Chain A
Amino acid sequence: MRNWITVARWHLVQPLLWLAVPWAVVALNLAVNVLDRAISRPGPSGGQTGSVATIFIIFLLFGVLSMVRSLPFALAMGISRRSYYGGTLLLAVSVALVDGLLLAILQAVERATGGWGVYLRFFRVEYLLQGPWYLTWLTSFVVLTLIFVYGMWFGLVHRRWNVTGLLGFVIGQVVLAAIVVQFVDLHTGWSGVGSFFTAVTVSGTTGLAAVVALVLIAGGYAVIRRASV
């Protein structure tokens, strides 16, 4: 555990990168959106931007970088793969918890101010981030963690099986997606998928995402154990 904390501190040696950069990007994005709507003055309908996705994309990059750039130096400094993995996840999960809460708070502010005074729906995302604050917190936290771990996988596959492995990893996912699409087309149809997600509700979807994240975390551990740098 002591080693995990060392690794978590390690990443925070650049506190701005982890803590401020995502929010700086979000703030800039929000400002542009608010300004845009303040000038064009649209009505209360619409206002969905999807721009909040930027923070999730940044988490993906953090995941990739943690394994591509920081892992080799960690191993050079006598940190075991196990400690590095544990410490990196510890930090990512903690930051996701805090950032998730911030997203929930900002969503509440957005509701209270009538969408920042311009009917903007920046932090309210159809279906996924719409419910009460605690559900937004939970869903953001789980999805941020999942995306970080997914990013880590790209880095891990690259570390362990090089570019060939990475290519296989990407192609594998494309093939899998194609199979799923085919399957849905032939059998249930897309309305079935829609009603499935409506039926399980956001909490159910969040639970599913959490399960996927846990599976990826366990699998990632198996991959990093034999990764060389």
Chain B
Amino acid sequence: MTAAISVVGVSRRHRDHLALDAVSLQVEAGSITGLLGRNGAGKTTLMRIIAAQDFASAGEVRVMGADPVEDDAVLRRIVLVREDQIYPRYVRVWQLLRMASWCYPNWSQELAETLLRDFDLPAGRRVERLSRGMRSALGIVIGLAARTEVTLFDEPYAGLDAVARDRFYDRLLTEYTERPRAMILSTHLIDEIAGLLERVVVLHRGRVVLDAPTDDLRGSASIVSGPALAVDQFVAGRRTWDRRRIGSQASAIVVGPVTEVDAARARSLRLEVEALTLQQVVVRTAAERDASAEERTSA
């Protein structure tokens, strides 16, 4: 089976700056991928190129098996409303939704209207008068109601309050369960959507530094804390990332799964063991990979 989204060796050069550096990525139909990375890491650029809003300087992009550039039949199956989306002037929310509905064969007006209510979006208001959070919500409404096979969300959380974030999570899950599609979500807030993500891809300075199934990452590292001597004893022979010591107390992050036996041993040593959150694992793994990659290049 061909992947819904296939990116092979894609680079994007802006004069002397390399925004994307030989990025490769496969996204299967019916899967949700989290695209993570710091500001300026190249997340939006990658999504723009997948949606043919921008062009790759090198490499190849295939969406549903075809090059999306200037291909209406393929483009109709992709939606990407960006965080910094520019909207037509003077257009009102309901008019914008009508415009979107003409573009997508599977558009659900019913869903769009439900989501408008969910996010308290004023249908009669001009888009340029919406607050940042409302604009994010509008992007979510369009992205979900379009019901395209390839759905790209660029920072969908930006400016959303906790209630709205929760609703987004909820609606996304319902929609996805009813109509699975290939989704990419770029975000900083990993833990809030950790339950949704099947895969995590981390970009750093235009390169993929981590690409792994979420299940492999979850529980792949734990933080152990307690009396320094006990910590030393527990981590001996294990790979650790970060060891800290304050007085007689210490903590260390151990890499690899913590088994029942390990847990029992930790209890007897009066140690506390806590699995790292996905966010922490991602940040650390990415930092490690990036450091080792830099060692290789400088060596």
Contacts and interface: CB of A to CB of B under 8 A. Distances in A.
Interface of A: 3, 6, 9-10, 13-14, 17, 65, 68-70, 72-73, 75-83, 225-226, 228-229
Given A13-B98, A17-B90, A78 B55 contact: no
B77 interface: yes
Given A6-B102, A78-B51, A83-B72, 7 more contacts: A10-B102, A69-B87, A72-B53, A73-B87, A76-B80, A76-B81, A79-B103
B127 to A, nearest CB: 9
Contacts of A75: 51-53
A13 B48 contact: no
Interface residues of B, number: 34
5 contacts: A6-B103, A13-B91, A75-B53, A76-B51, A228-B54
B99 interface: yes
Interface in B112-152: 142, 148
Nearest to B81: A76
A25 to B, nearest CB: 15
A82 B88 CA distance: 18
Contacts of B55: 226, 228
Contacts of A225: 70
Contacts of A68: 86
Contact of A69 (B48, B89, B104, B148): B89
Contacts of A228: 48, 53-55
B72 A69 contact: no
B48 to A, nearest CB: 7
Nearest to A79: B103
B32 interface: no
Nearest to B54: A228
Contact of B88 (A6, A69, A229): A69
B16 interface: no
Given A14-B90, A83-B72, A78 B98 contact: no
A81 B100 CA distance: 16
B253 interface: no
B85 interface: yes
B79 interface: yes
A147 to B, nearest CB: 19
A73 B87 CA distance: 6
A3 B72 CA distance: 8
Contact of B78 (A13, A78, A226): A78
A124 B87 CA distance: 38
A10 B102 CA distance: 8
A83 B74 CA distance: 13
Interface in B63-97: 70-72, 75-82, 85-91, 95-96
